[in-house]
């Protein structure tokens, strides 16, 4: 994936599991969304990164499936907030 992203002059949004490392390697802007994980534990390593994390009372739990069944850590991240973070 890295070689494909490197060929693109402008990438508006790329959803990647390894987005932190790839954005840093390519010196691309990055908005990292954290749900069940913590940006304090695994922060983006790029100076061009922005981090969005709600830090709700049950996070970080690091679970792939919400043990409480609500996934608020991601669902309550307002899309407008994400779009705003994408602005230069």
* DSSP labels, 13-82: ----TTHHHHHHHHT--EEEEESSS-TTTS----TTEEEEE---TT-----SS-TTS--HHHHTS-HHHH
pLDDT at site 19: 56
pLDDT greater than 60 at residue 2: no
pTM of the model: 0.73
Beta strands in the chain (DSSP E): 30-34, 49-53
Domain count, the chain: 1
What domain range is 42 assigned to?
2-86
Query: 31: how many CB neighbours lie within 10 A of its CB?
Result: 20
Tell me the per-residue pLDDT of 15-61, one tens digit each, with 9 for 90 and over: 555 556 666 677 777 788 899 999 998 888 888 888 899 999 999 99
pLDDT greater than 90 at residue 68: yes
């Amino acid at each position: 994936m890295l070689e494909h992203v490197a060929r693109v002059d402008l990438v508006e949004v790329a959803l990647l599991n390894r987005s932190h490392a790839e954005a840093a390697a390519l010196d691309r802007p990055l908005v990292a969304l954290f749900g069940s994980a913590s940006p304090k534990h695994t922060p983006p390593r790029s100076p061009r990164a922005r981090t969005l994390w709600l830090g709700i009372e049950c996070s970080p739990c690091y679970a792939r499936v919400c043990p409480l069944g609500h996934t608020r850590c991601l669902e309550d991240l307002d899309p407008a907030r994400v779009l705003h973070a994408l602005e230069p």
